[in-house]
Structure 1
């Protein structure tokens, strides 16, 4: 399939940056940090290549929000493109439903690898986007006022649903929820409504996920992730949709940048204040409304940076590596998730088990992961040069 014309290049570069962070997990900074415990440099990199335990944010935590945000950013362009092809609203919506189903099924497929049967789970990035995408498309055809109203309803409604869900009683069996009663990251007081695996979303999954065939009954997700997070994830996509509206408008570029920076700083500030006051904690794993605003703030600022560099200043010579990844993000996701183990094993077969210790044992995972990452990119570069782009 040939590359699509009139693409928003900054969105491709931003997406490429996000996917590079995801694929870069193979560099295993945590292993280097463990081997060099006195190095603050590797400790810093290791922290930002992993998710925080509960409250807070690392660079790695911004991967999924950015990917979701960018779905909203490009939607106005996608709608305009399809309508110029004489597609009716009904055809566009049917395509959206098909796309959603493919994303959900692909998410289940990737999570089912190395399982003995299909593993039905819907908390991964692809499934979360798939669950919310039809609603996002409907909003894409509505006015900006309705889009903002929908965002407010989602944030307040989701917050209220968690706040009204009862806290665990004195006889609650924490072992069946996969958490320790006195876990250091447990919140107290009103904020306890958003604790790991004792909240509304966890209770929903205890019912919903057990409707599917399973090897054993679902009791909890080890990371605290939940299906219902697709609702606030839709909020993140709406923020992206609002950004896409600005980008597609006739507003001068400098004013667009100003809007993004103001919205970005505002999102960070509101998120920090809500978390500090205990009104709603900032938790990525269950995608709290505070997380929508806080991570959305970072997304606006990152979009501002890439838009300024690529589309405004036209300084795009350095972006080729990221464009190769960003224009084939689904392929990148699949290569890293489905082919990573095979590529890793093949390297050790052909180069030897100890080839990666050439620069010393502490860096063996870094060398092995770096070579894997290079192979990922070379595959994507070959696809890029051949105009092979996987689109859903």
Structure 2
């Protein structure tokens, strides 16, 4: 392991990149906005194409392809990699040794894993040992990411290629179910519209390698009932290609820290992003590897990573190049306290706020804008309260760090 991070360009002094905070805040706001419940409004207004579009993009697709909502996790994961070069440089400038950095890394990984399990267990009568939560997935791969950050770009690229090809090959080698397989036993209708045929069937829901691994792994933990399948098809092993997403973010972070001019950096982001998207689409439509977010296929890693590069380019151009930051304050407040925002949006705080509003005003929500917009109005109030909590933390300079 090399003592210093190896990069191909000289680096600029450590400086917080405003666009990264705004980008992260935008992503977290998408997650927090689930409380608006666009699908409920769309259901109440079935003839509205607008609400159908909004509902689709606030829901996860059943299996292949994506919606805007499906980009929340990869974008958040990508940004973990983006900030890593800055984080390591900051700690080293304060005198942190390599051993201290690795010790902090392992500690952070464990906290992320445990926090993810805790959030998934809030509404359970006992600890829900599951590892597909965003924080848990990041935690499982984070230590490997930091270790790789100390190697040269060539080794990092080689590791990324090895991870994606190796993961693809492992799935491709796993035997397909026979013609008499009872799909109902794994929570999938026999003639489910989203089941794929031919070679792509190796990545079907709950009949793949990652599902088989969880049938063994998750049953090692205490459970009320044996684990048979995840109803959404999510899997523990997804942390492996998720590490690939973080590595793509790491490459973007290195570009941000380089001495290249802003326009050149943005051009790199756009070119890399478009190439990754094109390659992901090629893998999908040739049947080599489908784009499936729920099991984080290698094609999804490449495709969603390309979108993340383009999103970063957009925010970098607006915030850091054009200098238009004032409008983004709402996002910044969320972005600089992303862990707090995640816990608020995914934990008991959101439920407490929601229940409190309904306790005091619930009977009147449907009278203000009409019954179809009840969840929209109540959710908006919850979202405002959540943002005000984060704003209070921002004003008090309280930032939750792991």
Query: Taking structure 1 as the reference length, what is the TM-score of the superposition?
Result: 0.98
Among candidates 269, 272, 279, match of residue 263 of structure 1: 272
Moved over 6 A (4+): none
The correspondence of residues 1-392 of structure 1 with structure 2, limited to 5 A, is 6-338=15-347, 339-392=349-402
CA distance in 2 between counterparts of 1:81 and 1:23 reads 30
- Cα deviation for residue 355 of structure 1 reads 2.7
Contact 1:356 1:368 (C-alpha < 8 Å) held by counterparts: no
CA distance in 1 between counterparts of 2:363 and 2:147 reads 52
Contact 1:29 1:49 (C-alpha < 8 Å) held by counterparts: yes
Q: May I ask how many residue pairs the two structures share in their alignment?
A: 388
The 1:93–1:175 alpha-carbon spacing in structure 2 relative to 1, beyond 3 Å, is same
CA distance in 1 between counterparts of 2:195 and 2:324 reads 46
- Cα deviation for residue 171 of structure 1 reads 3.3
Contact 1:54 1:285 (C-alpha < 8 Å) held by counterparts: yes
CA distance in 1 between counterparts of 2:362 and 2:190 reads 46
CA distance in 1 between counterparts of 2:279 and 2:191 reads 29
Which is worse superposed, 330-339 or 298-307? Answer: 330-339
- Cα deviation for residue 85 of structure 1 reads 1.0
CA distance in 1 between counterparts of 2:105 and 2:112 reads 10
What is the CA deviation profile of residues 214-240 of structure 1, one whole-angstrom value per residue up to 9, with x for unaligned ones?
010000000000000000000000000
Unaligned runs of 5+ in 2: 1-13
- Cα deviation for residue 367 of structure 1 reads 0.2
The 1:356–1:379 alpha-carbon spacing in structure 2 relative to 1, beyond 3 Å, is farther
CA distance in 1 between counterparts of 2:398 and 2:258 reads 30
Contact 1:32 1:42 (C-alpha < 8 Å) held by counterparts: yes
Which is worse superposed, 14-23 or 260-269? Answer: 260-269
- Cα deviation for residue 57 of structure 1 reads 0.8
- Cα deviation for residue 356 of structure 1 reads 4.4
CA distance in 1 between counterparts of 2:199 and 2:365 reads 53
What is the CA deviation profile of residues 74-125 of structure 1, one whole-angstrom value per residue up to 9, with x for unaligned ones?
0000000011111111100110000000000000000001111000000010
SS in 1 for 2:91: helix
CA distance in 1 between counterparts of 2:356 and 2:386 reads 13
